[in-house]
Each structure stands twice: as structure tokens, then as C-alpha cells.
Amino acid sequence: MPAGRYAPSPSGELHLGNLRTGMLAWLFARASGRDFLLRFEDLDLDRTVAGAENQQSQDLHAMGLTFDALDGARLFRQSERMELYADAIARLQQDGLTYECFCSRREIREAARAPHAPTGAYPGTCRDLTEEQRARRRAERPAALRLRAPRSAAGTAEQSSVEDVLLGRITTEVDDFVIQRNDGTPAYNLAVVVDDHLTGVDQVVRGDDLASSTPNQAYLRGLLYGWHAAAEVQYAHVPLVLNTEGQRLAKRDGAVTRAALQEQGIDAASLRDLLLVSLGLPPGPLAQALESFDPTALPTEPWVFQPPGS
Ligand SMILES: [Zn+2]
């Protein structure tokens, strides 16, 4: 069954911006007859907060979001799928599509880059180390694994493009991005691709701050599961919610979670309506909003929210 998904990190309470993106993901999925899955991205143990998963589930249900079961479970966690990521990494390794990287963040930041290389792209420091150099560096620090992205004979990177329902075509150079962190944890960009493919997700709706990593993910999906499957994924990167200073909304901005808004007298139904109206949709149950949902009529600008009492 083709599916959409909402995939929060259980790192605390969801704020209004997260809830709005979740609603949009639900609307996109249901409007196109897809299943809708709930996936907790809990690979980053340092950020995982006890109880956050329950709280987030309750918040999403309070907004009216419904989820479909996957293999009989109403939700699933990345931490329970480590074998699947290990399989994918092993396949890439066997195909010679990875290499070890020993760089610290600082080394990457300070390394010289080719002219016109995209900001944040890996400068390629470890791409062509000799086996002897690798052995020496392994003794110093554990290696992360990077994708060995294709290059032309002249050394230029290959481009990857996706079509986005809201943003149009997004094209970036395929980067040597990390697929396994140097503590052995599968990297976000790998886990997302493996999960989406293996759970039938062919529609990805998320905040537009993640748009720039999408061509890399689409490329990896093609490598692992075939270009045809990768090309059929529908993407929609939706505008974020900003605070009155124009920054991405965060919990420090005040009453921005369901619980905090409840204390200000805004109950779950009012919060749902507030979010629907911000999307140009009629207030009321989500099923009703679904009837007027038109992806092409969604606002393309961020929504600015001023928390009550601030
Ligand atoms: Zn490196």
C-alpha cells in the first residue's frame, strides 16, 4: 500500500510548527488515498527524551491525525530497525560505494573546497587516502562512512534532481554524504531512505528546511532500490512556522506546544482550527478540511506565529 508518513524525533514536545507539518502530511496522504505511517526517528540517543514518544502521539491524535498499522503496529521506531540499515550499508560497501572518513567537523569546515562547491559539501579529504594512510588514521579515531558519489573523469560531481509539489524542481550536486556516523550509528540520510522505501512510502511531506538534502536522498534511494522506484516518490516541502523575529519557531518562543497553549485557554480543537486557518483551510474536523484540501492552493510563505501572553 503506498503511504505517506510523519517522522518526528522524540526529543521533547512537538511545537506548533511540527504539528502543522504533521497535519499537512496527513492531508497530503489522505487526499491521495495513501496510508499514513508514524515513525519515530530515535537513532540519536543523546536527543531522545523519555516519555516524548507518548506525548507526541497524544498531541498528534488530539489534532485528529489517524495512522495506519505497519506489520500490525500503530507506530515504529528506527532504533528497532538497525539490521535493515546495516544491510543497506553492507550492500553499498560491497559495491565499493563507500569510504572511511576520519575528519572532525572542524577539519571539514576549515578544508579548502573546489570553487563553486555547494556550502556544507564534503571537501573530499579522505576520498583517496591510501590503505596505509587509512591504517594510520584508524589508530587515531574511528571512521565514519561516506557515500562515494560519482564523479566525471574531470572530477565534477553528478547532479540529482527531484520534483517538489510546492518548490518545483530541486537540484543539487550529489555529495559524499555520511551514511554511517563514526560511533557506528546509521546516519539520518541513510535511515530515512531505507525506511521510506521498505515501508512503501512514496510521498514525503516535511518542512522546507530539509529540502536541500532531498536530491542526495533520492540518489541514494535509486542506488539501493532502483531508479524507477526513486523517481516515483512525490515530495512536498512545506513552509515553516516562524517567530515574530523571522526565525524558525522553537520552544523558547513561549507557549508553542499543545500543553502550554492549553494553559493559555487554547484547547486542542482551537489549536487545530488555528493551524487549519493558517493553511487557508476551513476550521473543524480534519476529515472536513480534507474535502477542501488543494495542494496547489497552499500558502507558499512561512506563517508567523506570536504565542499568546508573549
Ligand atoms: Zn574525511
Encode pLDDT of 136-159 as tens digits.
999 999 999 999 999 888 888 899
The angle subtended at Cα 207 by Cα 3 and Cα 9, nearest 5°, is 75
Q: Which grid coordinates are listed for 41?
A: 526517528
For ligand 1, the distance from its centroid to the CA atom of residue 192, given in whole angstroms, is 23
Ligand 1 centroid–CA 126 distance in Å is 4
305 falls in which pLDDT band (50, 70, 90)?
very high
C-alpha 7 to ligand 1 mean position (Å)? 29
Residues 6+ apart with CB under 8 A from 255: 261, 263, 264, 307, 308, 309, 310
From ligand 1's centre to the CA of 185, what distance in Å? 17
Give the Å distance between the CA of 87 and the centre of ligand 1.
23
Q: How far is the CA of 45 from the centre of ligand 1 (A)?
A: 24
Answer whether 75's CB lies under 8 Å from 39's CB.
Answer: yes
Q: What's the pLDDT tens digit per position in 75-102? A: 999 999 999 999 999 999 999 999 999 9
Q: What would the pLDDT profile of 185-227 be if each residue is shown by its tens digit?
A: 999 999 999 999 999 999 999 999 999 999 999 999 999 999 9
Instruction: Name the DSSP letter for residue 280.
Output: T
Give the predicted TM-score (pTM) of the model. Answer: 0.94
Kindly give the distance from the C-alpha atom of residue 182 to the centroid of ligand 1, in angstroms, as a whole number: 11
pLDDT of 115 > 80? The answer is no
Is 3 strand, coil or helix?
strand
Closest by Cα among 217, 232, 231 to 88: 217
Ligand 1 centre distance from Cα of residue 131 (Å): 14
